[in-house]
Each structure stands twice: as structure tokens, then as C-alpha cells.
């Protein structure tokens, strides 16, 4: 029996994980979800994947969002079930100065590269990730560019990163 | 399960027989078959690969960061460059995300214009994929023939929006231009001519003995594996999963249209091998023609763009839009903080997922097979790197 | 070769120069070097409608036999280092066409943190083709301009090409 | 050759006191030089032009058309430009081997022309082991390619070299086994002798002699394509896999030599199959009495026959995909070698059973071949006509630049 309504999914999670699950947020099917405590994310994900009636067999999207005002980095998991065709969103908030979240690469293989990307661009450390290294940027790149306070380096291997505008006099 | 000849060789080596030194090859970023700038570090024992480790990021153009700098309307041209082979879908994804955040109703005619443009673009993208697949297998001519057909679609789209490749056709709330007079007939006459050509391509290359031998049973991916690695689009359907965003999470006017979702059937070998992925694209082009005929027939009258403020500021919140791009389920996770600039835009693309599975499926293949695998996934470099 | 740029200017030497330049310009083999969006237009240019092969320009897979590198598309910093290596691997005389706004100056992606604003920061460029992406006709025009440039070169005679040429 | 020098000596053209061997050597160098520069290099060059033009037509393009009439001088421009390019020797390469390799390949290819009968008496040396010599020297190419692959110190080159070695050595066997039936029929290894055993008429050609030689002909052609590294067997330089295979690190003149050998080899392939199976330069005697027009006619007929197979090879290249290396080996050892062996044995049995041949079988086979050609020609005409029809329909877009640009 499929539990497709986000509210019902949330209720199931609440009953299993208690305080680790935040309130239900979002109004549309594509953004309805909840926050999860960073420590519980792997268990929650495994539960969502294996529990009959939920069967979120696909991690559709894993992204990180930087919120400098709230001083957190949010890791967002968009889950999808090919079996029951329903969606759910999980959000994990990590402190901005030393973000660390448990890796779900053991639950969905798709998470492996997506976590590497979030690590590369936002500097979130995924604990338990099999191969956590930069993926898009070169190994010797300074900083994590998708953070809001990222400053572009002046030059990279002798190539300056700015260009004088011809329009200026 | 019996081992094939080369697996026996590897097994013997694992068992401690004759030991040879592995060869590490760097394939790319400039390599004729990498379709842009990808790199594979190949560990090979002669012709047999132990492993191909993808190395990406050579075309990372920080499009996601730019979205935070240029504003909602201003980001539209950049979406073209996310996937330049199928730019219309990226346009549509961004427009739909903004519309969903701001709860804008798009006029019916605009929706139809979008679908028409997008399906033409899908044919174009699949043509390139099919052609470059043949080129990578060593047949240069089919590629040139598909390029020839692409030119005619380019003509059509150019008349529609003024650009050949990076269309920038859609706007938040609709499309930029209405369909010009006389365009419908041209589009229909193109379809008239193009549909038989698909059969001709099948005759020329798809069922060529050498070609099928090169593709069948190579890098078969089971449905389970495909879902686990989040393969989408033709790559997923090649593994036999009948899933299409257009049908299963319908958006725009797709519910009003009648079309099939072709899936791989393992007709010549294992289910989910390179040939299945290839044939899914071949058949999807026919389906696109079907959709286009319906759209061109049903095209309603009316405006093509809703009234959207120049200074567009959607309400704070986030949304996750999924559309069926030529390379499959494309996810746009857009966060708005209520200002004139998006807070974050993450684009989840099919090629990125397909790239991540290559390391797994490439074990014990031959070097020549790796080329077929890369081509069968229809990778487009900027879609991986963004 | 000590002959280069040492012979006196005579009708014969200029004729020889013209002939050699004719061979060079008639056989500009370009390297298959697709970077981004423009690479698709480059393929279309090699396709049936624009057909670069008419000018004797055939695609080649390795830099060792290429005369021309068409930098087609956005050059990221990560790729810029590789591009320089590729350029160094080409044998002289070698030419560069910078195709599209991104390769010319960074174009749309000047705002980006990871993009090299213009290929001329890494390798010398002979012809800039504007456009985002340039149409096949524009790239063909770029090739013809390059051929004009090649035709004016002097190998035997030390005589600078007129500045306004 | 020898007769020529002897007659020159007799006529006093050679200064007295000059040892005769010097005269022979000089004559050989002069004649060889003429053949190399007047025939071999242009034939290789023109083949590149033909290849590009044919490829253009196959791909609905035009192909080179800016240099000379219909781009005919394209090969000259390519060649001279390549000679003038900078010559790069990679610093990690094995320099002597790297420099030597192209010349070894070139030697193997040029030496093959020694026994190619261009027409009537036009042959550099009608060796009594002609066809054996030819298979031997063409196999020299593999040494050069392997040297190139190894010396480049590039892994793509190495893979290409290894593939080439495996390929050429393997395909020598079906090729050799397919030559044997002809040698048995003709009773000689000499090229002129083999041609002499056939007549001008198709039903007197070896290919139609019996069903076994008919198949042997195709096996020889396929094996020759594989030895010449042509599609679908172009694995040693597979562009999409190995960049350019064994030639990856070669630039300028050295690269040119490799490619000249490749394209020139096509002509050798055509010449060999023409000589062995298709009646060589034989023309009806009634056609020409005077020696000069006769030789010209013989040369023309031989050239046309040989070049037809060059065209077929080009056409295959732009139609077929490339097979994989293991499939290539399977095809050779599991299919071609056994079939070639059966052909060889079958021909032997046939010769014992029907020492004079069976005219009915000859005519039947010739008619089969003619029928195949007619069926094929009809298909070609059908496709060409349809292509012309669609071309008219295509110009529907006023914005289209197609018509403007395809002119010329």
C-alpha cells in the first residue's frame, strides 16, 4: 500500500524517528518535505528506501544551499519512487563554518557523485563517503565557489581571471 | 555463468598466474570521441580495460553561480548553454521554475509553442546523438547525414526564434515570439520528409551487422542498477523502465497529447545494452514527430506570453521542477528569497548521472567498447559540468 | 633552415613564396577540438551545407598533423592549461581561430569564476570569429580570412607585411 | 629491363669501358625513380583526392573544389604543405627507430610495385616468384608500423602498432591461401605468367574458373583490405579510439609517408586482385596491332580494373563502421582461414576432376556476377533519383542558405 501523501510520509517518519524529524514544510508535491537532524540522515534515507509503501528507490537530486544569514548550509535531498511515483524532500542543516553531514552514498549509488559535487562547490564534508575529492574544480583550486562569500582568485597558474573592458576609456 | 575469453584471461591473472603490468591511459580532454571535454583515466591490460575513471570539470562554467548574479530574466540566455544540444528544454525548465515560484499561468498557445519548439529540439538532439554514435563506431557518413537533417530543423527553429543553437526562445510566462505565418506548413513538410528518413537510417546503420555486433551485449545495465545510479531519459528507458516525465509527472500540455514511451527490449542482446539505448533514441524521434503533428494540428489561438513584471520578484520559497529533456529527467531546484535575484539554482542533469555509472559498467570492457558506451549515454559535456 | 627570411627579394622568390603559401592555405587541416556550444556549429560547418572540406580543410584527430586549432567555445581555467599543451604539440606553421565570444573574450561567462576570459591569454590567436555561437557562414568567413593571412606571409624574403594589409 | 640496357649498350649509348653492372644499376635507378615520382607518388596522392571527392558525394557534401579543376590539385597542396611542416620528434621517443619507421613502411609499399604489371611489357621485373615476392614485401609494412608504434613512446601509438601487427600477420594467412588456387591454376608464380594464363574475356578469368576461386577472390579482397588497414579493418589508426593509432606522434613528412603508403597500397590491392583474378591487362588482340597503342590500351584496361577496386575500398570506408579487435580476429581465424582452405582444396580437386575446366560453370559464374552488378546499378539509380527528388523538395525555407552555399 503506497503512502503517497507527503503528510502521511511525514507522519510515518515522525513515528519512527521522533525528534530527528522537523515539521512538514512546503505546499506543493515538488517541495513538500521536512528537515532531518544531520546525525539521523542515513537511517532516515535507508528507512525511506526500504520501507514497503514508501520505496523511495531513487535519489533524484542532492544539492547544497548556502544561507549566510542563517549561518547554515542546507543539504537538500529530492527523493523519488519509481515504484509508486511519489516525491519527498529532505533537508539537513549543517553549520556554515564546519559543515559535515553523513554520506548517503551507501544507500543510493547516485549520491556518490552528487555529494562530491556539493563538497567541491560548497565545502560540505560527507562523512563516510568512499571517495570524497573535488570533482568539477581542479584539485588546487582555493575555496568553495558556490558559497556566497567566495572571492574569485586573481590568477590561476599565471592566467589572470579578469579582463579589461575595452569600453572603459 | 561462463566466462568469456577475456574474462578468463583476467581471472587467470587474478589467480596469480602470468602477471602483466597495467597500462594507464589518459583519454581526453582532447580526444576525438569524448564529445567535448571529458577525460577518462583508463587502466588497461592491453586491449581490455580494468577500469575507466571519469574526470570531469573541464567545462565547468559556473552557470549555477551566475544565476545568483544576473536576475530571473537575465538568466534565460545562460540556460541555453547548460545543454547546448537541447537548449529548449533548459529554457523551459527555468521558465517553469520561475512560473511555479510566482504562480504564473502560462497561456495555452504559449504552452503549445513551447512543446513544438522543444520536440523539434529533441529530434535535433537525438539526431546528433545517433550520428555521433555511428561516428564513434567508425562510420563517418551517418553522422554527416544527421548533421544535414539538423540543418533543416535549425532553419525551422531559426525562423521561430532567430537563433540556430542557443535559442533563448522562452520567457518567464510564455515564449518570446509567436509562430510566424506559413511556418506550420514548413514544419509539416519537414516532418513529411523526415519520418521516412528514420527508416533509412535504420537501414543504413542501425541494423548493419558490424554495427549491431559492436553494440549488443556491451555494458548492459539492469533496471535496478539504472535507478540506483539515477539514470534518466533514454538511458533509463534503454534498461526497460517505462518512465517518462512527460507521461508520469505530466507538465505543460503533454496530458492532452497522445504518444508512446519506447523502452529497450533487449532485442539483439541483453536488456539495457548499448544497442537498446541507441534504439530508444531512434524510436523517440518517431514519437516526437507524432507529438509535433498533434501540436501543429491543435494549436489554439491566443496570446503567447502572460503579463510578467519587468522587475520580476517571485515569492520566497523553493521548487523542484522536472522536465523530460532530450537527455532525460532534468531537475531544476530553484530557491528564491523574494528578491530580484535567485538565491540558488541547482540543475540536475542526465549526463551527470550517466557519467557516474561509467566507472562501474566499464570494467572488463575493451577500449573500443568504452567509446561505444560513452556514445550510447549521449553525454554532453556542459550538462555534466554546468 | 637558413633559407628562411634571408633570400633577396626577387620575382622568383616571391613566386615561390606565393606557391608555398598557396599550398599552405589550400590545405588547412584543423584539429578536432570541440569545447562547448561552438563545437556543434563547427560540426555543422563541416557538414553538408557549409562543408569546410571545399577549402581543403579536413578535420584531424591529433595535434601533430594539424595546422589549425579552432578554439570553439568556452575555455575554462582547467582546460586552458591543456589547450596550451595542445598548441605546443602542433608543428609550425600553426594557426589559431578563436571561435565565438567565449573564446574571444569570455563572452557571457565573464561573470564566471572558472572561465578563462579569452583564449588569447593562453595562446596567440590569428582570427577572431564573433558570435555566440557564430553561424557556419561566419566560421567559413573566418577560414577565408585566415587563408588571406596565410597568402600574405613571406618565408624566403625578409620583408615585413604592410601594416594595413 | 635487362634487354633494354643491353640494346642501349649495343647502340653505343653507354660509354665504353663502363662496367655493365653500373649500367644496369643506373638504368634501374633511373627507371625506378621515374616510376616512383611519375606513377607511385601521384597515384597515392590522386587517390586521396578521389577519396575526399567520393566521400563528399557519399555524404551529400562537395569535397575539395578550390584547388584546380574540381579540387584536383588538392593532393599536391596537401603533400607540399606536409613536407614543409615542422618535423617534430618527441623528446621521449626512441629517435633512430622513430625516424626510420616511415621509411620502412614506404619501402615495403614501393617495393611492391616492382612486380606490378602495368600493362603488356610494362613491368619493372617479372620475377619468377612474383606473387610470393609481393606478399613478402607488403608484410614489411607491419615491421615499420610496429616500429612506429613502439618508438613514439605513446600508448595510443603502441596499441595501434600492436593491433596492426596482429591484424596484418593474421590476415596474411587467408590472403595467402586465396592466392594459392590461382597459382595452381596458372602453374606459375610470375605475375605475367598468371595474366598470360587468362584471356581478355570475363569467362576466361580466374575468378570465374570454378566456384572456389570465385569465393577465393572475395576472401583475398577482404584480407587485402585488412592488410591495408582500411575500414572496416582500420583499427590500427581508429580515429575515434586511438586518436590516430601508430601515426599519432608523427608530423609533417613522416606522417605523409605513412599516409602515402596507405593510399598507395590501395592501388597495389587493386593491381593484385586484377592480376590474379580479373585477367590483368589482357585485351582482345584484334583491338590494336601496333605495339604503342596496344601498350597504352593494356595500361588503361589494367588501370581501370585496378582503380575500380580502389573505388570499392573508398566506398566501403565511407559506408561501414569499424569492427572490434576481437571480432576482427574471430573473423580471420574462425571464418576466413577455414573457408580459404576449403577453396584451396576445392580448387585442387576441381583441377583433378576437370583438367580442362568447365565452360558452362565459367559462363554461369560470369553471368551471376553480371546479374549482381545490374541489380546493384538499378539500386544506385533508384537512390540517386530519389535523392534528386528530395533535393527539390528541400528548398522550402526562404531563410535557408543551403542553395547559396552548395553552389560551386
In DSSP terms, which residues pair with B118 in a beta bridge?
none
pTM of the model: 0.87
Binned at pLDDT 50, 70 and 90, residue D371 comes out as: very high
Q: Which residues contact D247 (CB under 8 A, 6 or more apart)?
A: C62, C65, D148, D157, D160, D237, D255, D258, D259
Residues of chain A with Cβ-Cβ distance to B360 below 8 Å are 109
Q: For chain D, first and last CA: distance in Å? A: 47
Q: What is the ipTM of this complex?
A: 0.84
Lowest mean pLDDT among A28-32, B100-104, B299-303: A28-32
Q: With contacts defined as CB-CB under 8 Å, which chain B residues touch A57? A: 227-228
Segment D62-89, tens digit of pLDDT: 888 888 888 888 888 888 888 888 888 8
Residue C106 has what pLDDT?
Answer: 82
pLDDT in tens, C81-108: 888 888 888 888 889 999 888 888 888 8
* Strongest mean pLDDT among B33-42, C144-153, D15-24: C144-153
pLDDT digits (tens, 9 = 90+) for B358-379: 888 888 888 888 888 888 888 8
Segment B52-76, tens digit of pLDDT: 888 888 888 888 888 888 888 888 8
Chains A and D touch (3+ CB pairs under 8 A): no
From C65, which residue of chain D is nearest by alpha-carbon distance?
D251
Q: Check residue D390 and give its pLDDT.
A: 60
Residue D407 has pLDDT above 60, yes or no: no
Where does the pLDDT of residue D392 fall: very low under 50, low under 70, confident under 90, or very high at 90 and above? Answer: low
Domains in chain A: boundaries: 6-156
pLDDT value at D367 more than 80: yes
**Per-residue DSSP letters for D306-317?**
HHHHHHHHHHHH
Look at B1-15, B108-122, B225-239, D170-184 and tell me which has the smallest mean pLDDT.
B1-15
Confidence (pLDDT) at D374: 93
Contact: chain C with chain B (3+ CB pairs below 8 Å) = yes
List the single residue in C20, C53, C92 with the smallest CB-CB distance to D64: C53
Which residues 134-163 on chain B approach chain C with CB closer than 8 angstroms?
144, 147-148, 150-151, 154
Question: Looking at beta carbons, which pairs linking D389-396 to residues 24 or more positions away fall under 8 Å?
Answer: D390/B193, D393/B189, D393/B193, D394/B152, D394/B193, D396/B186, D396/B189, D396/B190
- Chain A hits for C113, CB-CB cut-off 8 Å, are 145, 150, 152, 161
Among the partner-chain residues A61, A113, A145, the one whose CB lies closest to the CB of B356 is A113
Q: Identify the residue among B346, B351, B379 best suited for mutation to test binding to A, counting A beta carbons within 10 A and taking the highest.
A: B346
pLDDT of residue D6: 67
C-beta atoms of C115 and B61 within 8 A? yes
Mean pLDDT of D105-129: 80
Tell me, yes or no, if B242 comes closer than 8 A to chain C by beta carbon: no
What is the Cα–Cα distance from B14 to B22, expressed in whole angstroms?
Answer: 13
Across the interface, of A150, A152, A159, the residue whose CB is closest to C121 is A159
What confidence tier does D338 reach under pLDDT thresholds 50, 70, 90?
Answer: very high
* DSSP secondary structure string for all residues of chain A: ----SHHHHHHHHHHHHGGGEEEEE-SSTTT-EEEE-GGGHHHHHHHHHHSTTT---EEEEEEEEEETTTTEEEEEEEEE-TTT--EEEEEEEEESSS-EEE--TTT-THHHHHHHHHHHHH--EEET-TT---SSS-TT--S-TTSTT----SEETTEES----SS--
Residues of D in contact with C22 (CB under 8 A): 77
Residues of D in contact with B32 (CB under 8 A): 239-240, 243
Q: Do A145 and C113 touch (CB under 8 A)?
A: yes
Measured between CB atoms, does D319 come within 8 Å of chain B?
yes
Mean pLDDT value of segment B27-56: 80
Subunit contact B57:C46, Cβ cutoff 8 A: no
What whole-number distance in Å separates Cα of residue B292 and Cα of residue B310? 32
Judge whether residue C162 has pLDDT over 80.
no
Contact residues, chain B, for A64 at CB < 8 Å: 346
Helix (H, G, I), strand (E, B) or coil at D159: helix
Is the pLDDT at C9 greater than 80? The verdict is no
Residues B144, D59 contacting (CB under 8 angstroms): yes
Q: Which residue of C has its CA nearest to D70?
A: C54
Residues D304 and D299: their CA atoms lie apart, in Å, by 8
What pLDDT score was predicted for residue D375?
92
Which of A60, A66, A112 is closest, CB to CB, to B356? A112
Average pLDDT along chain D? 82
Q: Of D159, D232, D241, which has the smallest distance from its Cβ to B210's Cβ?
A: D232
Question: How high is the pLDDT of residue D403?
Answer: 41
pLDDT at residue B5 in the model: 57
The pLDDT of D119-140, averaged and rounded, is: 81
pLDDT tens profile C39-55: 888 888 888 888 888 88
- Crossing angle of helices D252-277 and D140-151, in 10° steps, is 160
Which among B58, B315, B333 is the top mutation candidate for probing chain A, defined by the most A β-carbons within 10 Å of its own β-carbon? Answer: B333
Candidate from C43, C86, C108 with C-beta closest to B147: C43
**pLDDT grade for B138, boundaries at 50, 70 and 90:** confident
Structure confidence at residue D405 (pLDDT): 39
pLDDT above 70 for B14? no
**Residue contact C53–D61, C-beta within 8 A:** yes
pLDDT at position B214 over 90: no
pLDDT score of D339: 92
Q: Is D291 helix (H, G, I), strand (E, B) or coil?
A: helix
Q: Which residues of D149-162 are buried (b: 16+ CB within 10 A; e: fewer)?
A: bbbbebbbbbbbbb
Could you please state the CATH topology (level 3) that the domain comprising A6-156 is classified under: Beta Polymerase; domain 2 (3.30.460)
- Chain B: nearest CA to C149, how far in angstroms? 27
Q: Give the pLDDT score at D398.
A: 41
Least Cα separation, residue A19 to chain B (angstroms): 24
Q: How confident is the model at residue D342 (pLDDT cuts 50, 70, 90)?
A: very high
Q: Dump pLDDT digits (tens) for C107-157.
A: 888 888 888 888 888 889 989 998 888 888 899 999 999 999 888 887 766
Beta-carbon contacts below 8 Å between A and B:
90
**Residue contact D232–B156, C-beta within 8 A:** no
Which chain D residue is nearest to residue B46, measuring alpha carbons?
Answer: D159
Q: Which residue out of D49, D59, D61 would a mutagenesis test of the C interface target, given it has the greatest number of C Cβ atoms within 10 Å? A: D61
Q: What is the pLDDT of residue C164?
A: 44
- Hey, what domains does chain B have and what are their CATH numbers? 63-380 (1.10.645.10)
Amino acid at each position: 500500500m503506497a503512502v503517497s501523501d507527503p503528510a502521511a510520509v511525514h507522519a510515518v517518519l515522525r513515528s519512527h524517528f521522533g525528534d530527528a524529524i522537523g515539521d512538514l514544510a512546503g505546499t506543493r508535491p515538488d517541495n513538500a518535505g521536512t528537515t532531518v537532524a544531520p546525525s539521523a540522515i542515513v537511517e532516515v534515507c535507508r528507512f525511506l528506501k526500504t520501507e514497503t509503501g514508501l520505496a523511495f528507490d531513487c535519489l533524484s537530486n542532492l544539492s547544497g544551499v548556502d544561507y549566510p544569514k542563517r549561518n547554515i548550509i542546507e543539504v537538500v535531498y529530492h527523493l523519488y519512487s519509481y515504484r509508486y511515483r511519489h516525491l519527498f524532500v529532505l533537508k539537513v542543516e549543517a553549520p556554515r563554518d564546519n559543515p559535515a553531514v553523513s554520506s548517503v552514498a551507501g544507500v543510493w549509488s547516485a549520491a556518490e557523485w552528487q555529494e562530491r559535487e556539493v563538497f567541491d562547490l560548497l565545502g560540505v564534508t560527507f562523512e563516510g563517503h568512499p571517495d570524497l575529492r573535488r570533482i568539477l574544480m581542479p584539485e588546487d583550486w582555493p575555496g568553495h565557489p558556490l558559497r556566497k562569500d567566495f572571492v574569485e582568485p586573481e590568477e590561476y597558474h599565471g592566467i589572470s581571471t579578469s579582463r579589461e573592458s575595452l569600453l572603459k576609456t | 555463468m561462463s566466462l568469456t575469453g577475456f574474462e578468463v584471461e583476467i581471472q587467470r591473472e587474478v589467480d596469480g598466474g602470468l602477471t602483466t603490468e597495467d597500462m594507464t591511459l589518459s583519454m581526453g580532454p582532447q580526444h576525438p570521441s569524448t564529445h567535448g571535454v571529458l577525460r577518462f583515466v583508463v587502466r588497461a591490460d592491453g586491449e581490455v580495460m580494468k577500469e575507466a575513471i571519469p574526470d570531469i570539470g573541464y567545462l565547468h562554467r559556473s552557470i549555477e553561480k551566475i544565476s545568483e548574479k544576473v536576475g530571473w530574466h537575465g538568466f534565460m540566455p545562460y540556460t541555453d548553454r547548460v545543454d547546448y544540444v537541447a537548449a529548449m528544454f533548459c529554457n523551459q525548465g527555468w521558465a517553469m521554475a520561475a512560473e511555479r515560484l510566482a504562480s504564473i499561468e502560462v497561456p495555452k498557445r504559449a504552452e503549445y509553442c513551447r512543446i513544438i519548439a522543444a520536440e523539434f529540439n529533441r529530434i535535433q538532439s537525438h539526431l546528433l546523438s545517433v550520428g555521433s554514435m555511428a561516428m564513434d563506431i567508425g562510420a563517418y557518413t551517418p553522422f554527416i547525414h544527421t548533421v544535414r537533417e539538423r540543418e533543416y530543423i535549425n532553419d525551422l527553429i531559426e525562423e521561430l526564434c532567430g537563433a540556430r543553437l542557443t535559442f533563448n526562445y522562452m520567457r518567464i510566462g510564455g515564449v518570446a515570439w509567436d509562430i510566424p505565418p506559413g511556418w506550420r506548413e514548413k514544419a509539416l513538410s519537414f516532418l513529411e520528409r523526415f519520418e521516412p528518413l528514420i527508416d533509412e537510417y535504420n537501414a543504413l546503420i542501425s541494423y548493419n551487422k558490424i554495427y549491431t555486433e559492436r553494440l549488443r551485449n556491451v555494458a548492459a545495465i539492469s533496471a535496478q542498477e539504472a535507478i540506483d545510479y539515477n539514470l534518466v531519459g533514454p538511458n533509463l528507458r534503454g534498461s526497460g523502465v517505462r518512465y517518462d516525465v512527460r507521461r508520469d509527472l505530466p507538465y505543460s500540455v503533454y496530458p492532452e497529447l497522445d504518444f508512446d514511451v519506447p523502452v529497450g527490449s533487449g532485442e539483439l542482446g541483453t536488456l539495457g545494452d548499448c544497442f537498446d539505448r541507441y534504439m530508444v533514441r531512434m524510436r523517440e524521434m518517431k514519437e516526437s514527430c507524432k507529438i509535433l503533428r498533434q501540436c501543429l494540428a491543435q494549436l489554439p489561438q491566443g496570446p503567447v506570453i502572460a503579463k510578467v513584471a519587468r522587475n520580476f520578484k517571485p515569492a520566497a520559497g523553493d521548487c523542484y521542477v522536472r522536465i523530460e529533456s532530450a537527455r532525460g529527467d532534468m531537475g531544476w531546484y530553484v530557491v528564491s528569497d523574494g528578491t530580484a535575484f535567485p538565491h540558488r539554482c541547482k540543475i540536475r542533469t542526465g549526463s551527470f548521472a550517466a557519467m557516474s555509472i561509467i566507472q562501474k559498467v566499464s570494467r572488463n570492457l575493451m577500449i573500443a567498447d568504452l567509446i561505444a558506451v560513452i556514445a550510447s549515454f549521449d553525454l554532453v559535456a556542459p550538462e555534466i559540468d554546468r | 633552415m637558413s633559407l628562411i627570411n634571408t633570400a633577396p627579394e626577387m620575382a622568383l622568390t616571391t613566386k615561390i613564396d606565393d606557391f608555398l603559401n598557396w599550398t599552405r592555405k589550400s590545405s588547412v587541416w584543423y584539429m578536432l577540438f570541440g569545447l562547448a556550444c561552438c563545437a556543434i556549429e563547427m560540426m555543422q560547418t563541416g557538414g553538408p551545407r557549409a562543408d569546410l572540406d571545399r577549402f581543403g580543410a579536413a578535420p584531424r584527430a591529433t595535434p601533430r598533423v594539424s595546422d589549425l586549432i579552432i578554439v570553439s567555445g568556452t575555455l575554462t581555467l582547467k582546460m586552458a592549461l591543456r589547450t596550451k599543451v595542445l598548441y605546443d604539440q602542433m608543428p609550425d606553421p600553426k594557426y589559431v581561430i578563436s571561435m565565438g565570444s567565449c573564446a574571444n573574450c569570455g563572452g557571457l561567462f565573464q561573470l564566471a569564476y572558472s572561465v578563462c576570459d579569452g583564449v588569447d591569454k593562453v595562446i596567440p590567436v590569428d582570427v577572431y570569429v564573433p558570435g555566440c555561437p557564430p553561424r557556419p557562414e561566419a566560421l567559413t568567413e573566418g577560414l577565408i580570412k585566415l587563408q588571406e593571412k596565410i597568402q600574405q606571409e613571406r618565408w624566403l624574403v625578409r620583408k615585413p607585411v604592410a601594416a594595413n594589409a | 629491363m635487362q634487354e633494354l640496357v643491353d640494346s642501349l649498350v649495343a647502340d653505343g649509348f653507354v660509354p665504353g669501358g663502363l662496367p655493365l653492372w653500373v649500367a644496369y644499376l643506373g638504368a634501374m635507378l633511373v627507371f625506378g625513380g621515374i616510376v616512383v615520382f611519375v606513377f607511385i607518388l601521384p597515384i597515392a596522392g590522386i587517390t586521396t583526392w578521389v577519396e575526399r571527392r567520393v566521400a563528399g558525394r557519399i555524404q551529400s557534401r562537395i569535397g575539395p573544389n578550390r584547388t584546380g579543376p574540381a579540387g584536383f590539385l588538392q593532393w599536391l597542396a596537401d603533400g607540399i604543405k606536409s613536407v614543409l611542416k615542422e618535423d617534430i620528434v618527441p623528446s621521449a621517443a626512441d629517435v633512430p627507430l622513430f625516424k626510420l619507421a616511415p621509411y620502412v613502411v614506404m619501402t615495403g609499399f614501393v617495393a611492391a610495385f616492382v612486380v606490378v604489371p602495368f600493362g603488356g611489357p610494362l613491368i619493372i621485373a617479372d620475377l619468377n616468384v612474383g606473387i610470393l615476392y609481393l606478399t613478402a614485401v607488403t608484410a614489411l609494412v607491419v615491421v615499420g608500423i610496429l616500429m612506429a608504434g613502439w618508438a613514439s613512446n605513446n600508448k595510443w601509438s603502441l596499441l595501434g602498432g600492436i593491433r596492426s601487427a596482429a591484424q596484418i600477420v593474421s590476415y596474411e594467412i587467408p590472403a595467402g591461401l586465396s592466392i594459392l588456387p590461382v597459382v595452381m591454376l596458372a602453374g606459375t608464380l610470375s605475375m605475367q605468367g598468371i595474366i598470360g594464363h587468362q584471356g581478355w574475356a570475363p569467362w576466361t578469368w580466374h575468378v570465374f574458373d570454378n566456384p572456389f576461386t570465385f569465393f577465393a577472390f572475395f576472401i583475398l579482397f577482404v584480407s587485402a583490405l585488412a592488410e591495408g588497414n582500411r575500414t572496416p579493418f582500420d583499427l590500427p589508426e581508429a580515429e575515434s579510439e586511438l586518436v590516430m593509432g601508430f601515426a599519432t606522434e608523427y608530423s609533417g613528412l613522416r606522417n605523409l609517408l605513412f599516409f602515402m603508403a596507405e593510399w598507395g597500397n590501395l592501388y597495389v590491392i587493386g593491381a593484385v586482385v586484377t592480376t590474379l583474378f580479373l585477367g590483368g591487362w589482357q585485351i582482345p588482340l584484334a583491338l590494336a596491332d601496333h605495339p604503342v597503342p596496344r601498350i597504352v590500351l593494356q595500361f588503361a584496361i589494367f588501370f581501370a580494373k585496378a582503380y575500380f577496386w580502389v573505388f570499392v575500398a573508398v566506398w566501403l570506408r565511407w559506408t561501414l563502421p569499424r569492427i572490434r579487435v576481437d571480432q576482427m580476429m574471430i573473423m580471420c581465424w574462425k571464418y576466413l582461414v577455414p573457408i580459404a582452405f576449403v577453396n584451396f582444396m576445392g580448387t585442387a580437386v576441381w583441377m583433378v576432376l576437370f583438367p580442362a575446366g568447365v565452360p558452362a560453370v565459367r559462363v554461369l559464374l560470369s553471368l551471376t556476377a553480371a546479374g549482381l552488378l545490374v541489380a546493384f546499378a538499378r539500386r544506385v539509380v533508384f537512390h540517386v533519383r530519389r535523392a534528386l527528388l528530395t533535393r527539390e523538395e528541400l528548398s522550402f525555407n526562404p531563410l535557408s542558405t543551403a542553395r547559396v552555399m552548395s553552389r560551386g
